[in-house]
């Protein structure tokens, strides 16, 4: 009898061993905000009350993540040669994409169901299908990073360059190149304008968000949001911008008219809407903040270096 | 490098150079350890005081200005920074400009810790000691106070006068090397003189001496050398005298023998004269035989210095046997030999040699005593020795001759008259034999009154 138990136990252990790394699964109907922490790489999931749902601690030095559809997350690292796709409901790894070192950002174009990765080594944009299979590549300018898709076009900021590249999602062709400031980062599309944030060049700290014409790339106006506005989040009637240099959260109407502002966190890089809350991640203080109507409702300590926020709303 | 002087000189110069190098390293070390750490400490103190100016919130221009005002009163540079770009706030992003503080320092400062750095700073294009203190509120790094002081190495300090410094050190080393060489030459001069004197001596000139000026080890060596040279010279002279004496002593009887035998051979003599001549020849031949025997004995005694085997001897018996041997000789001069003997004395000795000692002394006593006089032999115990005293009432020995009396062929009567019959070797032999017995010989004498010879021979230990 004892022998049987030992045999079964060993078999189960073997099975578990064969399945590879597996994290705690997240219910498909569970809405969450997830903090991508990069100093001690982990992804921590919280529900709308700020309760911890799951904590995925990684061995690999992931520096970013992006949600793909409802139940998948893609994790990449600037110093890693591959990106991994995990299933949220099972916590299992679904696929691995050979990216090569230098992945700076990942973007999921919802409408076209395409995954885009930018690479600072090859200075290129790479397209993958939902299964992580390569589907084309386009050489861009120096250090492509920030991406946003709109009506069949992908707007890519070349971080160490003064050029914004406009790429056709369908045939991966370069449509236009618009002049922008160096070290630009962070995008939002409001009606027919493109908002671009940035750090500023050299020792100069950028204090404004540039408003470009979505069709021509012409700079229409600027919104003053010091210092170094780089994080954007938006919902139908509101725009949230986080400036990490001054720890300021600016909330405006879509027209740019200020609604309120709040000093929050220490060196916050990410902002996101999650149901009725605005979530801000403080990189230096390792906290995420639940903010509503200009007040901090809740502060949650997370692992070291919260750098990105992923949000899955109610399905 | 053959000369000892050169070796010592090279050694001392190397030590000098090593000392200068060590002092340089040491002064640098002291500079680093004391000066730098002291500077760091005072910078931290000032920084901590300035830190109290911060009341929380954003770092404003007024605070920055106030801190920079402090520059006027401080010997190090102070400034405040609030630009997040300078403070590596964008660090998760690729930074392609030079920030004032790096990511690690930012992390330290965020914890409220003070950062201290020593080394080259690109921003200031020179090595500096820097101390950075944070202005933090709610985990926000709102700004920093940056204090620095140019780290001027001693070598850099003397950069303009570096030639002078090296030149001075070289000149100093040269001067010291010169003085060392001079000093060494002075110290070693007696050694050179000793060497030269030894060379002269090796050529056979034993009169060479070293001029001793100092009392140090070298001076002592020179003095010892002089003593040795004197001893060698004396020995040499004695040797020469000895040879001269031996040849002289032998030549006289040989010329007698030769002369008389020629005369006999050529029949110039009467029978009576011939008989007398033959007697003379026989006497001189005996004399020669005795002389050569004694020389042989003396030579043998010197050679056998270590070989003598000593055994217990009843001293009174030996003394009696000796007086019996010499009884006839004494009778010829009607000399009476009286004995006062301790019968219990047993000495460690060689009977034959002991007899030889006593015979030689007693013969001398009889030889130099007037007719009808008395010779006394007394034996007694003195400490661990048996003392044999042989006392006569003879002619005595002058004081100045006493110390030489045991030298070979030394005779008080310089005329070398053979009327008293001695060869001048008797007491030399006695002295050698007593030495072999580990005994002592002392002679007391007064001219005209007599001589007392004391011989000490070790008693057998019970």
Q: What is the pLDDT of residues A39-80, one digit of tens each?
A: 999 999 999 999 999 999 999 999 999 999 999 999 999 999
The whole-angstrom separation of Cα B80 and Cα B103 is: 18
The DSSP 8-state label assigned to residue B73 in this structure reads G
Please give the share of chain A, as a percent, with pLDDT higher than 90. Answer: 86
Residue ranges of the alpha helices (H) in B89-161? 103-110, 154-157
Confidence of residue B304 (pLDDT cuts 50, 70, 90): low
- Residue B414's φ and ψ, nearest 5 degrees, are -70, -15
**Residue B101 near residue B89, CB atoms below 8 Å:** no
- ipTM for the whole complex: 0.85
pLDDT band at residue A303 under the 50/70/90 scheme: very high
Q: How far is B89 from chain A (nearest CA, A)?
A: 7
- Which of A103, A188, A205 is closest to A148 using CA atoms? A188
Instruction: Identify the three-state secondary structure at position B372.
Output: coil
Report the candidate in A97, A100, A107 with the shortest Cα–Cα distance to residue A134. Answer: A97
The least confident of B241-250, B260-269, B391-400, B429-438 is B241-250
Cα B364 to its chain centre, rounded Å, is 46
Contact B207, B28 (CB under 8 A): no
Condensed to tens digits (0 to 9), the pLDDT of residues A73-103 reads 999 999 999 999 999 999 999 999 999 999 9
Q: State how far the alpha carbon of B327 is from the alpha carbons of A200, B353, B392, B395, in Å.
A: 141, 19, 15, 21
**pLDDT in the model for residue B156:** 62
Q: Is the bond preceding residue A227 a cis peptide, omega within 30 degrees?
A: yes
Closest-CA distance of chain A to residue B69, Å = 23
Dump pLDDT digits (tens) for A213-249: 999 999 999 999 998 999 999 998 899 999 999 999 9
Nearest CB partner across the interface for B139, out of A205, A244, A284:
A284
Q: Considering chain A, what is the average pLDDT of its residues? A: 91
- B422-454 pLDDT, tens digit per residue, is 677 788 888 888 988 889 999 999 888 899 999
Is a pLDDT exceeding 50 seen at residue A313? Answer: yes
Based on the number of CB atoms within 10 Å of its own CB, is B176 exposed (0-12), middle (13-18) or buried (19 or more)? middle
Q: Is there a contact between A282 and B89 if contact means CB atoms under 8 Å apart?
A: no
Neighbours of B248 (CB within 10 A): 11
Q: Which residues on chain B are in Cβ contact (under 8 Å) with A204?
A: 85
User: Is pLDDT of B418 > 60?
Assistant: no
Residues near B126 by beta carbon (within 8 Å), at least 6 away in sequence? B120, B150, B151
Confidence of residue A18 (pLDDT cuts 50, 70, 90): very low
Q: Shortest Cα distance from A214 to chain B (angstroms)?
A: 26
φ/ψ (deg, to 5) at A218? -75, 135
Is pLDDT larger for residue B353 or for residue A163? A163
The dotted CATH code for B309-458 is 3.30.565.10
Write the residue in A185, A228, A286 that is nearest to B84 by C-beta: A228
**Residue B57 near residue B127, CB atoms below 8 Å:** no
Choose among A50, A84, A51, A82: nearest CA to A65: A84
Counted residue by residue, chain A has a size of: 315
Confidence of residue B388 (pLDDT cuts 50, 70, 90): very high
Complete DSSP assignment for B102-117: -HHHHHHHHTT--EEE
Query: What 3-state DSSP class applies to B214?
Result: coil
Strands B336-340 and B374-382: parallel
**Residues 170-229 (A) with a CB less than 8 A from some CB of B:** 183, 185, 199-200, 202-205, 227-228
Q: What whole-number distance in Å separates Cα of residue A67 and Cα of residue A107?
A: 8
At residue A2, does pLDDT exceed 60?
A: no
Q: What does DSSP say about strands B346-349 and A64-68: parallel, antiparallel, or unpaired?
A: unpaired
What span, in angstroms and rounded, lies between the C-alpha atoms of B450 and B374?
10
| B93 to A200: CB separation less than 8 angstroms, yes or no | no
- Cβ-contact A126, A137 below 8 angstroms: yes
Secondary element (H or E) of residue B262:
helix B217-265
Domain boundaries along the sequence of chain B: 4-157, 309-458
Residue A19 has pLDDT above 70, yes or no: no
Q: What distance in Å separates the CA atoms of residue B395 and residue B365, rounded to the nearest whole number?
A: 10
Higher pLDDT, B181 or B4: B181
Mean pLDDT of B343-359: 89
The predicted pLDDT at position B216 comes to: 80
Closest CA to A178 of A188, A169, A166, A190: A166
Closest by CA position to A249, among listed A290, A302, A190: A290
* Residue A157 vs residues A93, A102, A202, B414: alpha-carbon distances, Å: 30, 16, 18, 134
The shortest C-alpha distance from B129 to chain A (Å) reads 23
Whole-number pLDDT of residue B250 = 81
Tell me: the pLDDT tens digits for B68-113? 888 888 888 999 999 999 998 988 888 878 889 998 999 999 999 9
CA angle A267, A200, A233 (to 5 degrees): 55
Looking at residues B406-432, what average pLDDT do you find?
Answer: 71
Q: Residue B58: its chain A contacts at CB < 8 A? A: 246
Chain A CB contacts of B96 under 8 Å are 160
Beta bridge mates, A165: A156, A177
Write the CATH number of the domain with boundaries B4-157.
Answer: 3.30.450.20
Q: Which residue has the higher pLDDT, A232 or B410?
A: A232
How long a stretch of residues is chain B? 462
> Are A128 and A117 within 8 A, CB to CB?
yes
The pLDDT assigned to B219 comes to 81
- pLDDT above 90 (res B303): no
Longest dimension (CA), chain B: 158
Q: Please tell me the predicted confidence (pLDDT) of residue A16.
A: 46
Does residue B165 or residue B170 have the better pLDDT? B170
Most confidently predicted of A298-302, B57-61, B120-124, B253-257? A298-302
- % pLDDT > 70, chain B: 93
What average pLDDT does chain B have?
85
Using a CB-CB cut-off of 8 Å, the residues of chain A touching B140 are: 247, 266-267, 284-285
pLDDT at A315: 47
Interface contacts (A, B; CB < 8 Å): 62
- Helix (H/G/I), strand (E/B), else coil: A296: strand
Give A311's strand partners.
A33
Per the model's pLDDT, the better-predicted residue between B271 and A173 turns out to be A173
User: Exposure pattern of B193-225 as b/e (b: 16+ CB <10 Å)?
Assistant: bbeebeeebeeeebebbbebeeeeebeeebeeb
Asked whether the predicted pLDDT for residue A20 surpasses 80, the reply is no
The string of DSSP codes covering B10-58 is HHHHHHHHHHHHHHHHHHHHHIIIIIIHHHHHHHHHHHHHHHTT--SSS
Q: How many CB atoms lie within 10 A of CB B460?
A: 15
Strand partners, A59: none
Q: How far is CA A133 from CA A99, A100, A129, in A?
A: 11, 14, 5
pLDDT, tens digit (0-9, with 9 covering 90-100), for A93-151? 999 999 999 999 999 999 999 999 999 999 999 999 998 999 999 999 999 999 999 99
């Amino acid at each position: 009898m004892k022998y049987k138990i030992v045999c079964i136990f060993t078999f189960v252990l073997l099975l578990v061993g064969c399945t590879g790394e597996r994290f705690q699964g997240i219910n498909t109907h569970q809405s969450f905000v997830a903090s991508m922490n990069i100093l001690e790489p982990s992804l921590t999931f919280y529900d709308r009350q700020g309760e911890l749902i799951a904590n995925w601690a990684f061995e690999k030095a992931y520096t970013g993540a992006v949600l793909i559809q409802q139940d998948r997350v893609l994790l990449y690292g600037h110093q890693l040669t591959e990106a991994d796709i995990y299933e949220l409901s099972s916590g299992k790894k679904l696929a691995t994409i050979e990216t090569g070192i230098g992945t700076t950002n990942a973007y999921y174009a919802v409408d076209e169901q395409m995954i885009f990765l930018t690479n600072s080594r090859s200075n290129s944009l790479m397209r993958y299908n939902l299964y992580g299979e390569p589907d084309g590549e386009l050489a861009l300018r120096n250090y492509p990073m920030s991406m946003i898709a709109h009506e069949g076009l992908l707007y890519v900021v070349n971080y160490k360059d003064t050029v914004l590249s406009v790429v056709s999602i369908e045939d991966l062709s370069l449509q236009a190149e618009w002049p922008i400031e160096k070290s630009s980062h962070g995008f939002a599309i409001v009606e027919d304008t493109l908002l671009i944030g940035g750090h500023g060049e050299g020792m100069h700290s950028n204090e404004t968000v540039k408003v470009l014409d979505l069709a021509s790339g012409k700079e229409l106006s600027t919104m003053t949001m010091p210092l170094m506005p780089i994080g954007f989040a938006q919902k139908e009637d509101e725009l949230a911008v986080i400036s990490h240099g001054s720890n300021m959260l600016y909330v405006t109407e879509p027209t740019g008219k200020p609604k309120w502002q709040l000093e929050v966190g220490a060196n916050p890089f990410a902002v996101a809407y999650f149901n009725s809350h605005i979530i801000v991640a403080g990189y230096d203080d390792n906290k995420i903040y639940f903010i509503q109507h200009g007040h901090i409702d809740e502060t949650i300590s997370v692992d070291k270096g919260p750098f990105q926020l992923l949000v899955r709303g109610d399905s | 490098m053959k000369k000892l002087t050169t070796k010592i000189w090279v050694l001392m110069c190397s030590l000098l150079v090593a000392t200068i190098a060590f002092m340089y390293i040491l002064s640098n070390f002291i500079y680093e350890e004391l000066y730098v750490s002291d500077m760091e400490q005072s910078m931290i103190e000032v920084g901590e005081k300035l830190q109290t100016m911060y009341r929380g919130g954003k770092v404003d221009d007024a605070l920055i200005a106030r801190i920079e005002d402090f520059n006027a009163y401080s010997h190090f540079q102070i400034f405040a920074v609030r630009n997040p770009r300078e403070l590596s706030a964008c660090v998760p992003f690729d930074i392609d400009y030079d920030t004032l503080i790096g990511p690690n320092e930012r992390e330290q400062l965020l914890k409220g810790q003070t950062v201290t750095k020593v080394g080259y700073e690109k921003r200031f294009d020179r090595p500096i000691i820097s101390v950075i203190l944070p202005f933090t509120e709610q985990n926000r790094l709102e700004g920093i106070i940056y204090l620095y002081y140019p780290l001027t190495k001693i070598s850099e300090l003397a950069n303009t006068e570096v030639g002078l410094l090296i030149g001075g050190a070289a000149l100093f080393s040269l001067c010291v090397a010169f003085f060392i060489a001079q000093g060494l030459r002075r110290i070693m001069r007696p050694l050179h003189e000793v060497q030269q004197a030894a060379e002269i001596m090796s050529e056979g000139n034993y009169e060479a001496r070293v001029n001793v000026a100092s009392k140090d080890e070298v001076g002592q060596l020179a003095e010892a050398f002089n003593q040795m040279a004197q001893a060698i010279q004396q020995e040499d002279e004695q040797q020469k005298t000895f040879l001269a004496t031996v040849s002289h002593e032998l030549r006289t009887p040989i010329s007698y023998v030769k002369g008389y035998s020629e005369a006999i051979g050529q029949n110039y003599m009467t029978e009576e004269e011939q008989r007398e001549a033959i007697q003379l020849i026989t006497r001189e031949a005996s004399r020669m035989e005795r002389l050569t025997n004694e020389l042989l004995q003396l030579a043998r005694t010197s050679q056998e210095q270590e070989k003598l085997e000593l055994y217990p001897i009843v001293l009174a018996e030996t003394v009696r046997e000796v007086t019996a041997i010499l009884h006839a000789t004494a009778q010829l001069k009607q000399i009476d030999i009286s004995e006062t003997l301790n019968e219990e004395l047993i000495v460690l000795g060689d009977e034959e040699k002991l007899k030889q000692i006593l015979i030689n002394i007693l013969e001398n006593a009889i030889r130099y005593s007037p007719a009808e006089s008395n010779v006394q032999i007394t034996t007694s115990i003195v400490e661990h020795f048996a003392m044999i005293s042989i006392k006569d009432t003879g002619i005595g020995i002058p004081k100045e001759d006493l110390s030489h009396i045991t030298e070979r062929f030394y005779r008080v009567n310089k005329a070398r008259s053979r009327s008293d019959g001695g060869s001048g070797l008797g007491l030399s032999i006695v002295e050698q034999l007593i030495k072999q017995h580990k005994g002592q010989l002392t002679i007391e004498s007064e001219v005209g009154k007599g001589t007392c010879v004391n011989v000490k021979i070790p008693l057998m230990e019970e």
